[in-house]
Amino acid sequence: MILFLPLGAAIGWCGWRRGWSALAPALLSLAVETAQLWIPGRDASLGDVVFNSTGAVLGFAVARSAGWWLRPGRATRRLLMLGALAGVIAVFGATGVLFQPDLPRTVYWGQWTAQLGRFEWYRGRVVRAAVGGVELPDGRLANSDSVRTLLLARAPLVIDARAGPPVSGLAPLFSIADGGAREIVLLGPDRSGLVVRYRTRAVAAWLANPALRADGALAGIEPGQPLNVTLRADGHGWCLVVDGRAHCGLGFTLGRGWAMIDFPAPLPTWFRASLDELWLACLLLPLGFWLTGRRAGAAAVIAAGAGLWLVPASLGLMPTPPAEWAAAAAGLALGLALRRNAEAPAPPK
């Protein structure tokens, strides 16, 4: 939907008829999906055609109604400001809820360096795995309910292994899946980094499942070397301890909400952080654009700031870091600047 919004807006601004706002993007999307029938590693989806077309129609509507939302009256601007604030708070709340673990009550299976097909195979060897002192053998877990309870309680996960050769992509060292082949927990190397994934509510909602990554955690570890990995809770985040070296501060913030839409892997740490900040700036920009009234506008800004502070604390996310606070403020400021530009009278010809 987001990808095709600009196309729909362009169709609206070019003066095309309303019917083309859905028909042209649908034909384009259908052609792309048809081509994917012959592209290795890609799957055609009728759902993609529907959502692409829907995004284009929304973009068309935004373009055709530009006069209404670019220069609204005072009463309309107040309504738009309240709508933008409600949207920001709703996205914050949804981010916190969707990043919470969603571990089904089923039979679990421990997997030691499993060959799962969609991942690389790690040619190391697991010697022992345990969570909260409960052993996790390679195979069916007789105590799945207890393991689930310990995972939800964020008990320490300990893996003793022998290191394998370096890998060029994500390769499971240890994982837990259920009988429906649903991934519950995965811990494994990806190049010189170490990746942790656990099933979240985002996955249950058919969204992407972002990973936590400790870049460079496996740097300098030779094949055959003893390898001890411990994943333990650290406030609302996690610490990965690799052979005594702690990599802490791993967790999700409000800015990482974009990753539930799509999480291309792997991305450099600085680039992921930049996307986090850009996401928050974009969320706050409409609120800044429609801010109106000294008291009402100040109250809206305070409410958005309260969301940045209270939502992570109440829903188990990492506290909003200073860079994301600054990005949110920049989004508000940019929105204000764009509004002033939109309201400026046109220069005489």
- Give the start-end residues of each E strand in 51-206: 108-112, 125-131, 134-135, 139-140, 157-162, 174-178, 183-190, 193-198
Mean pLDDT of successive 10-residue segments in the chain (349 residues)? 82 76 80 79 73 84 71 84 96 96 95 91 96 96 96 97 94 94 94 94 89 92 95 95 94 94 75 94 95 91 97 95 97 92 66
Strands 108-112 and 139-140: antiparallel
Q: Nearest 5°: phi and psi at 213? A: -130, 130
d(CA 131, CA 12): 56
pTM for this prediction: 0.83
Please tell me whether residue 219 adopts helix, strand or coil conformation. coil
Q: Nearest 5°: phi and psi at 31? A: -65, -40
Q: For 108-251, give the CATH class.
A: mainly beta
Q: Which residues contact 340 (CB under 8 A, 6 or more apart)?
A: none
Mark residue 160 as left, alpha or beta (left: phi above 0; alpha: psi -120 to 50; beta: remaining).
beta
The partner residues of 197 in beta bridges, in order of sequence, read 186
266 prior amide bond cis, ω within 30: yes
Q: Identify the H or E element spanning 250.
A: strand 245-250
Q: Please name the amino acid found at residue 201.
A: R
pLDDT at 348: 59
Residue by residue, what is the 3-state secondary structure of 58-83? HHHHHHHCHHHHHCCCHHHHHHHHHH
Please tell me whether residue 165 adopts helix, strand or coil conformation. coil
pLDDT at 3: 81
pLDDT at 176: 97
Q: Which residues contact 250 (CB under 8 A, 6 or more apart)?
A: 196, 212, 213, 214, 234, 237, 238, 239, 240
Domain ranges of the chain: 1-64, 73-99+253-349, 108-251
